[in-house]
Amino acid sequence: MCDFAPLKNDLFIRAAFCEKVERTPVWAMRQAGRYLKEFQEVRAKHDFFTVCRTPELACEVTLQPLRRMELDAAIIFSDILVIPQALGMEVQMVPGKGPVFPKPLANPEDLKTLNQTPDVDKELGYVFDAIKLTRQKLDGKVPLIGFSGAPWTLMAYMVDGGSSATFSKARSWLFRSPNESKALLDMLTDTTIKYLVNQVRAGAQALQVFESHAGILGSSTFAKFSLPYLAKIATQVKKQLSDLGIQRVPLIIFAKGAHYAIEELSATDYDVISLDWTMDVKRAREICAKKSKALQGNLDPAMLYAGVDEICSATKKMVEDFGVTGHIANLGHGMYPDLDPEHLKAFVNSVHSASEEIINS
Ligand code: CP3
């Protein structure tokens, strides 16, 4: 591992491990993105995956939101779909449409066409280079979060070929071809473990796993086709980092829509359970407190369309609901492209002021 400057602001790390903090740390999913005009300026000149693949550009857009507001963490600019690319699939980012796979996995026979054991350093070295560069540029200001998509969510895109409300093609595989589905999920799990371990070796100080499409599975399907893979990723990443003598980093799981699985997720090796805005904070707190897990979330991103005063009062309520121990404030999902950056700033500042008020009272 390289030598980087020590952290000046480690609130995020302490909150993730349920340690004492002076104020609640806050960041936002998709904090780098189209709602920032400086991001759009970069995107006007460079294609989406060119930004991901060019460490200087990925680093620049990672740092952009931090120049505007007092965020307590940065997240490396990349995408979950770099893993399907590393397995040999083509992915295009089509403006107004989102990701498109020109040749999705049409049937289980197509698994043979994948590069099943990719050389992660070779295929995804550009992500590790972007992480190293960003750690240098951050100079210890705040921690840098690495991330990956969870196996089921990646499978959903690889089979359906792009965004979908139902991912019915991928869900049909789970029932029509369960064994082949498990083979694909195993393959994705193994690559993800290597990818996440190497992100930490490059300098990532926390990791978030995005199971963005947990909600469409339902509890018994989630228990079979998502949870075991999520659990293995956390256990293996922790074990491999410890075997390498690397200091533990917080692992966050964001299983969007998985109301039914908070208890099961709290029994895995993740340190932080991230809640979307539809989840019950009180219930999650009760379940997670028993396992000493921290929580992340969960303001409805659409709340940022409200006026600043309303944002401040909703944020204050959120901070009170979670409590000031073991909470990382965030939105319940990512920033939308037409949100006003000043409204995100109001959210960030309100998290800080509301939590300081509680802690100092
Ligand atoms: O700031 C950050 O949070 C880091 C960057 C980041 C991006 N994608 C950049 C991005 C992260 C963490 C992701 C994760 C990601 N990518 C997820 C999981 C999180 C979630 O939203 O549930 C998923 C499902 C993807 C796949 C993906 N990438 C989709 C479905 C889309 C299109 C949706 C949209 O908003 O248009 C993308 C594109 C994408 N990834 C953009 C950004 C900034 C916008 C595309 C652009 O700049 O043209």
- Spatial CA neighbour of 126 closest among 162, 76, 84: 76
Pocket of ligand 1 (CB under 6 A): 29-34, 43, 48, 75, 77, 79-81, 93, 98-99, 147, 163, 210, 212, 334
pLDDT, tens digit, 9 for 90 and up, residues 152-202: 999 999 999 999 999 999 999 999 999 999 999 999 999 999 999 999 999
CATH number of 11-359: 3.20.20.210
Domain borders along the chain are 11-359
For the stretch 65-98, pLDDT in tens is 999 999 999 999 999 999 999 999 999 999 989 9
pLDDT of residue 2: 66
| pLDDT per position as a tens digit, 218-243 | 999 999 999 999 999 999 999 999 99
Indicate which residue's Cα is closest to atom 46 of ligand 1: 48
* Average pLDDT of the residues of the chain: 97
Confidence of residue 3 (pLDDT cuts 50, 70, 90): confident
**Main-chain dihedrals φ then ψ at residue 200, nearest 5 degrees:** -70, -40
- Indicate which residue of 10, 23, 72, 79 is catalytic: 79
79 CA from centroid of ligand 1 (Å): 6
Closest CA to 324 of 78, 12, 24: 24
Longest Cα–Cα distance in the chain:
63
Contacts of 67 (CB under 8 A, 6+ apart): none
